[in-house]
């Protein structure tokens, strides 16, 4: 089977309201030429989804939502549903980002519920997994990744599983300036791939992109993407700069 299509995700977190989103996409569109061999997906704050979509005017710049509620609707002040995100232009959704797990208490069961809502709304899930520094130092990397994947992957229907992207993000490398070495990334991605094969079989598992997230920058992206099993990047801080993210999105191009 051919290698998964490279995936470049821009997680803006709590940055860029509608006006800034419009300005960014105009600048980025002038720097980034359409790349048919890769997926380029932006995850702005939900309030900026319509502004980004209207300013982009390009189908190759896709949109995702950073988080959704585990219910489809109801009395949940401040929350948005997966269906609302789809109506606003999202085609993708993050589930289980480490900041959601740490700051908002998203445990494995809640991540699985949110992933299910994404799938039901027709959004493609990007499942985030990764270990803390304490877990890594205790030798629990493989156990943590296996647990996080096992909570979600078996619950996805067959068609949805084939649409999955998995983002390995070592928690100790997010926003810290520290980056896992290419060897660290390759080792963790290998564990993820084996777990996917166990749950989905080799044909489906081998087609799922496994991307790396954690202080990805223009100066290290080429080395990271050259590591075995690394199929793209989920980018935080560097994705806020159109020039930096455009450079990142060129990585691995033929």
For the chain, list the domains and their CATH numbers: 7-86+104-248 (3.20.20.70)
Residue 69 class from Cβ within 10 Å (0-12 exposed, 13-18 middle, 19+ buried)?
middle
Tell the residue number behind the tokens 């960014």, with chain if given: 24
Taking 90 as the threshold, does the pLDDT of residue 146 lie above it?
yes
Say what the pLDDT of residue 197 is. 97
Calculate mean pLDDT across residues 115-122. 97
Tell whether the torsion through CA atoms of 176, 181, 184 and 186 is positive or negative.
positive
Contacts of 93 (CB under 8 A, 6+ apart): 64, 65, 66, 67, 68, 82, 85, 114, 118, 123, 124, 125, 126
> Mind telling me the catalytic residues?
97, 169
Whole-number average pLDDT of the chain: 95
Read off the pTM. Answer: 0.96
Could you tell me which of 76, 79, 62, 221 has the C-alpha nearest to residue 126? Answer: 62
Tell the residue number behind the tokens 């027709």, with chain if given: 122
How far is the C-alpha of 120 from the C-alpha of 221, rounded, in Å?
33
Calculate mean pLDDT across residues 193-210. 96
How far is the C-alpha of 13 from the C-alpha of 65, rounded, in Å?
10
Type and span of the H or E element at 248: helix 242-248
Calculate mean pLDDT across residues 7-32. 98
């Amino acid at each position: 089977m051919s290698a998964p299509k490279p995936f470049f995700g821009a997680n803006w977190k709590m940055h860029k309201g509608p006006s800034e989103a419009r300005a960014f996409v105009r600048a980025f569109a002038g720097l980034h030429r359409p790349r048919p061999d890769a997926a380029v997906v932006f995850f702005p704050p939900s309030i900026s989804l319509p502004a980004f979509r209207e300013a982009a005017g390009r189908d190759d710049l896709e949109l995702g939502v950073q988080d959704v509620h585990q219910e489809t609707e109801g009395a949940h002040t401040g929350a948005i549903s997966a269906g609302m995100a789809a109506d606003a232009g999202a085609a993708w959704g993050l589930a289980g980002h480490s900041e959601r797990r740490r700051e908002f208490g998203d445990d494995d069961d809640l991540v699985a519920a949110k992933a299910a809502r994404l799938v039901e709304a027709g959004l493609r899930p990007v499942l985030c997994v990764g270990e803390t520094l304490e877990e890594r130092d205790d030798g629990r990397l493989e156990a943590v990744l296996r647990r996080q994947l096992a909570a979600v992957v078996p619950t996805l229907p067959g068609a949805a599983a084939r649409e999955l992207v998995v983002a390995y993000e070592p928690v100790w490398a997010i926003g810290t300036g520290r980056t896992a070495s290419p060897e660290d990334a390759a080792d963790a991605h290998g564990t993820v791939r084996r777990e996917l094969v166990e749950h989905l079989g080799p044909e489906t598992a081998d087609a799922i992109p496994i991307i790396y997230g954690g202080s990805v920058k223009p100066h290290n992206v080429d080395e990271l993407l050259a590591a075995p099993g690394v199929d793209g990047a989920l980018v935080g801080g560097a994705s806020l700069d159109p020039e930096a993210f455009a450079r990142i999105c060129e990585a691995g191009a033929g």
